[in-house]
């Protein structure tokens, strides 16, 4: 109801209400006369249900009439409430069809509600007490008053049958039903299109099982559309107000809700508008992860049953995916429990069917609404109800396991449920402790698109292959809404129109070449009369609206707003474009390979040794020439290098720090050195899976596991990181994996004392393996959880970490995953940083990148804000690391990622009063939210941090040479003792899980030249006893 009605508008609405009340009374009189003549039990129950529903509607309309008349008196200045009240309670003067007066609504309703001494409420109580022995039932007497409002203000209260009809409930129902109807209409249209397509096939080509599935789906979607249309008409007939504002546009209601009114009726209108604002602003997809505990107990007043003896059953859907089904029951009493695991789910739907698949009624709600209710009652472990002072509502039974509630169904009926949500079990963060957290990577980048997984709630088509999304999920670009299958995103040809210079892909050359095929489409605006999908975003195109364009040449169709993003490939099919792309990319790979071969001639070269800290000096190795014959020994690098090798030279460090060198990589660019190439033919230079015995699992990450292994030849222990090729390809981590290898080689360049070095890497048909130094002392996370660090110990580790980060930055590498988990402790008490999977190369001073990645507690504000960021993110993480080592807790805490991110962006950091002044000072300067003002963000990088008073008296040369006695040295019982690692890893059996995937030749080509062995590994193998 509008908040600023004039007198004529009020009179019009009063007349409208009088007409509606008169119509309801006519229906009641007719239903009462019919009820006395019915002998069929099912028909009798349906008629009785209609009478009770009509009584509820009359009570609501009378309440609205009373408010309008009161408003009219205030405008006209009348002071005769008795007359007004009388006119509300009696509808005298409203003629019926024969011209005679109709009895007043109150009398008519009271005469009809209790026929044959059996009210609907009595049936509810009798049925439940007989079968379920429960004390609650839907109270239709309470339902008949529009003033029975819930006090908590949660949206789920508007779904309860205890909540009487009100403007708020009707507005909410209209909006929810319209949203649901829009989805189901699209599902029906898509199913009809699919059914028509299959019917056009020859009978022998049709899959009978598939045809039957589609027919069942069509019957179901048609039934849902019918139910929702009935429900929509029901609430449209009750709502007294601006329906267009409710259904289509909430901007006007939000504006109206901010204006102050001078009376209670206007305040009520304002509250309705506030509710609409809450509905419109609340996201429809609030992802919830955990367990959804549901008991489907019984349903009553179900409309449309063919017979009271017919069976009915319920189907439970989570995000439009069936997750449970009850048994069939003749009396709609099931009392069945469901324990449903949900992962980033947003809503649940419960639909009641009659045997045969006919939809009787449906109810749905969002998990976020249920959680609000559980939090209000103090029953949700993932939330808090401390700020809610209102007592629990008496209408709904509650216990420690959740709530029992009667919910309205559409188009009629009620269902009795027991509901609860148990959030995903999290490792509780102690007030004085820290926990392990995995790094996150929010988007997958391809040709500038920022793809993220998303669930679709309607039939959609992939923009790459043109097929339907059959698994109800896929990838969608966060910028341009380009949608495709998960399996198809690697085949994307079209660049995102929002792509930035920092996101240039290596495969853009092929994309640029195919983009030369520029034959523009001739798009024209058309009225869409069929079922068609947008070729860009994949959504169903609207019917009958001139917001659709179609190419007059190739008949490609898309939304008006998607038209500028459709590439100029008129006349080129998807298959042809994909074939061309693959051919161009293959040619580019071959071109790069030949250039690499030309730049690295195959003959071995002798180079003089340079002064270096490397323990591998110039050495002469005896060679059996017969083993260097062509084809005599498999070559892991894909080439054969005949000829003797007399020395294995040390690699030279390249100091590439200026922006001019950004186009070329630093020391990590070379995949191998000439000495290594020449040594490939040696018997001790080939590394394979047979060279190792796996002893234990010591770590697990996002893409694989890390296992302790013993090399058979030398009996040395190594940590082997095992990654599945299939997973790397599916997640587009090929370049990231190659980058990790190059970073390892940069660490190998000088055998940096505080970086884990790479022994070798090799591959099988299904996996790749990084063989690394084994650090048996465990990680700092394990140690800090067992013993708090004092300031001396924390400072010692901070010094060594600082030198490791400095080395990375001098080689134009930003680390991006600094945390206690990635810092290992050697037996002599020194640290080594490991896990280079998130490193970014070519990051000289001033260079930026955009990838959203890192571990939540250590991510800098500029990463969370998705702004371009540089090397300063490592110094932010360095500050968080020092804070955790000094205090044993994170400066930013929360129960989930969103709370942690909010704390990083908004919260002030708390420093204990007993913390030293220098400690507080360096933390404040490192944890500065503005990266340009952060300590270490300037061109001097780590040198500025070294000069801070926190590190006064530190002899950096002695730290680098490990001449300072460590404050703590871990102990082990034997060389294979893994007690310094978490039991959650070490208790696993050290075996490789079976992998049945078979990669094609193109995918295997991505790992060409991956295998590698370091100089120091060659030296150890050469000196190993036979």
Name beta bridge partners: 519. Answer: 569
Nearest-angstrom CA–CA distance, 419 and 638: 61
Pull the structure tokens for residue 798.
Answer: 């901070």
CA distances from 235 to 338, 412, 788 (A): 32, 11, 63
The candidate with the shortest Cα–Cα distance to 613, out of 667, 650, 654, is: 650
The candidate with the shortest Cα–Cα distance to 177, out of 354, 409, 353, 372, is: 409
For residues 345 and 317, the answer to whether their CB atoms sit within 8 Å is no
Length of the chain as a residue count? 1026
Active-site entry in 319, 817, 835, 941 = 817
Residue by residue, what is the 3-state secondary structure of 17-35?
HHHHHHHHHHHHHHHHHHH
Neighbours of 378 (CB within 10 A): 15
Contacts for 38-42 with beta carbons within 8 Å, 24 or more apart? Answer: 40/308, 41/308, 42/305, 42/306, 42/307, 42/308, 42/309
Name beta bridge partners: 468. Answer: 461
Residue 918 known to be catalytic: no
Scanning 138-258, the segments in alpha helix (DSSP H) are 140-143, 167-199, 208-236, 243-247, 251-257
Nearest-angstrom CA–CA distance, 1003 and 1000: 5
Nearest-angstrom CA–CA distance, 247 and 258: 20
Name beta bridge partners: 417. Answer: 296, 405
For residues 982 and 783, the answer to whether their CB atoms sit within 8 Å is no
Pairing of strands 823-825, 358-366: unpaired
By the 10 Å C-beta count (0-12 exposed, 13-18 middle, 19+ buried), 596 is classed as exposed
Nearest-angstrom CA–CA distance, 169 and 816: 50
Neighbours of 965 (CB within 10 A): 9
* 269 Cα distance to chain centroid: 37
For residues 823 and 980, the answer to whether their CB atoms sit within 8 Å is no
DSSP 8-state class, residue 350: E
Active site residue ranges: 817
């Amino acid at each position: 109801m509008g908040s600023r009605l004039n007198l004529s508008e009020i009179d019009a609405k009063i007349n409208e209400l009088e007409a509606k009340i008169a119509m309801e009374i006519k229906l009641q009189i007719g239903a009462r006369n019919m009820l006395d003549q019915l002998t069929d039990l099912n028909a009798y129950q349906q008629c009785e249900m209609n009478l009770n529903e009509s009584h509820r509607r009359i009570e609501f309309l009378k309440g609205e009439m009373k408010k309008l008349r009161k408003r009219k008196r205030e405008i006209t200045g009348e002071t005769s409430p008795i007359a007004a009240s009388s006119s509300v309670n009696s509808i005298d003067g409203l003629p019926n069809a024969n011209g005679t007066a109709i009895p007043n609504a109150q009398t008519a309703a009271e005469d009809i509600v209790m026929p044959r001494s059996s009210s609907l409420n009595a049936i509810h109580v009798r049925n439940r007490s007989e079968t379920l022995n429960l004390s609650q039932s839907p109270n239709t007497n309470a339902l008949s008053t529009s003033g029975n409002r819930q006090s908590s203000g949660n949206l789920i209260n508007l779904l309860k049958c205890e909540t009487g009809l009100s403007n708020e409930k009707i507005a909410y129902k209209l909006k929810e039903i319209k949203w649901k109807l829009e989805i189901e209409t699209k599902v029906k249209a898509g199913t009809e299109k699919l059914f028509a397509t299959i019917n056009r096939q020859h009978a022998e080509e049709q899959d009978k099982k598939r045809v039957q599935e589609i027919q069942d789906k069509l019957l179901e979607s048609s039934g849902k559309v019918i139910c929702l249309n009935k429900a929509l008409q029901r609430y449209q007939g009750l709502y007294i107000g601006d329906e267009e504002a409710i259904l289509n546009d909430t901007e006007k209601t939000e504006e109206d809700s901010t204006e102050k009114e001078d009376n209670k009726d206007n305040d009520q209108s304002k509250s309705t508008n506030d509710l609409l604002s809450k509905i419109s602003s609340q996201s429809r997809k609030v992802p919830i992860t955990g367990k959804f505990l549901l008991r489907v107990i019984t349903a009553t007043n179900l409309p449309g049953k063919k017979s009271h003896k017919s069976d009915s059953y319920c189907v439970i859907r989570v995000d439009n995916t069936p997750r449970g089904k009850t048994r069939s029951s003749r009396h709609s009493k099931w009392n069945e429990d469901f324990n449903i695991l949900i992962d980033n789910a947003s809503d649940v739907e419960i639909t009641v069917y009659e045997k045969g698949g006919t939809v009787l009624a449906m109810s749905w709600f969002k998990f976020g609404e249920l959680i609000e209710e559980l939090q209000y009652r103090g029953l949700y472990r993932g939330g808090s109800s401390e700020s809610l002072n209102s007592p629990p509502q008496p209408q709904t039974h509650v216990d420690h396991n959740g709530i029992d509630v009667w919910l309205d169904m559409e188009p009629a009926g009620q269902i009795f449920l027991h509901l609860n949500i148990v959030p995903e079990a999290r490792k509780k963060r102690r007030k004085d402790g820290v926990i392990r957290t995995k790094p996150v990577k929010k988007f997958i980048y391809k040709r500038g698109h920022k793809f993220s997984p998303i669930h679709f709630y309607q039939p959609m088509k992939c923009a790459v292959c043109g097929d339907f999304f059959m698994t109800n999920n896929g990838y969608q670009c966060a910028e341009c809404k380009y949608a495709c299958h998960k399996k198809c995103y690697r085949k994307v040809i079209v660049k995102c129109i929002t792509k930035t210079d920092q996101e240039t892909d290596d495969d853009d050359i092929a994309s640029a070449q195919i983009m030369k095929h520029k034959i523009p489409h001739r798009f024209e605006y058309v009225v869409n009369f069929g079922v068609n999908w947008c070729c860009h975003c994949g959504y169903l195109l609207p019917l009958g609206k001139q917001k659709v364009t179609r190419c007059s040449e190739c008949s490609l169709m898309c939304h008006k707003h998607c038209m500028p993003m459709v590439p100029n490939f008129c006349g080129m099919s998807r298959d042809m474009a994909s074939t061309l792309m693959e051919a161009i990319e293959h040619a580019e790979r071959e071109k790069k390979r030949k250039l690499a071969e030309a730049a690295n001639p195959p003959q071995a070269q002798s180079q003089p040794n340079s002064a270096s800290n490397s323990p591998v000096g110039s050495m002469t190795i005896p060679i059996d020439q017969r083993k260097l014959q062509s084809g005599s020994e498999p070559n892991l690098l894909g080439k054969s290098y005949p000829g003797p090798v007399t020395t294995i030279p040390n690699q030279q460090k390249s100091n590439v720090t200026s922006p001019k060198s950004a186009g070329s990589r630093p020391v990590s660019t070379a995949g191998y050195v000439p000495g290594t190439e020449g040594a490939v033919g040696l018997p001790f230079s080939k590394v394979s899976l047979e060279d190792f015995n796996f002893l234990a699992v010591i770590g697990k990450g996002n893409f694989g596991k890390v296992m302790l292994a013993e090399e058979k030849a030398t009996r040395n222990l190594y940590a082997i990181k095992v990654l599945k090729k299939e997973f790397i390809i599916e997640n587009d981590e090929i370049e990231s994996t190659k980058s990790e290898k190059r970073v390892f080689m940069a660490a190998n360049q000088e055998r940096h004392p505080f970086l884990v070095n790479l022994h070798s890497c090799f591959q099988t048909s299904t996996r790749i393996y990084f063989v690394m130094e084994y650090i048996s002392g465990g990680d700092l996370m394990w140690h800090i959880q067992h013993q708090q660090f004092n300031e001396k110990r924390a400072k010692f580790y901070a010094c060594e970490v600082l030198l490791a980060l400095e080395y990375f930055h001098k080689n134009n590498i930003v680390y991006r995953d600094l945390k206690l988990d990635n810092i290992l402790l050697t037996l002599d008490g020194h640290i080594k940083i490991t896990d280079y999977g998130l490193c970014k190369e070519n990051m000289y001073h001033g260079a930026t990148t955009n990838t959203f990645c890192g571990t939540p507690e250590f991510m800098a504000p500029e990463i969370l804000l998705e702004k371009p960021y540089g090397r300063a993110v490592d110094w932010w993480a360095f500050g968080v690391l020092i804070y955790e080592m000094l205090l044993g807790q994170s400066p930013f805490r929360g129960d989930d990622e969103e709370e942690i991110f909010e704390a990083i962006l908004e919260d002030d950091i708390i420093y204990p009063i007993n913390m030293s002044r220098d400690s507080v000072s360096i933390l404040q300067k490192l944890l500065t939210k503005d990266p340009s003002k952060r300590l270490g963000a300037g061109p001097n990088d780590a040198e500025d941090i070294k000069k801070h008073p926190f590190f006064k008296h530190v002899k950096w040369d002695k730290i680098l040479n490990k001449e300072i006695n460590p404050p703590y040295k871990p102990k082990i019982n034997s060389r294979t003792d893994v007690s310094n690692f978490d039991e959650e890893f070490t208790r696993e059996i050290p075996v490789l899980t079976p992998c049945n995937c078979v990669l094609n030749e193109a995918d295997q080509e991505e790992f060409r030249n991956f295998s590698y062995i370091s100089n120091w590994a060659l030296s150890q193998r050469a000196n190993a006893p036979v």
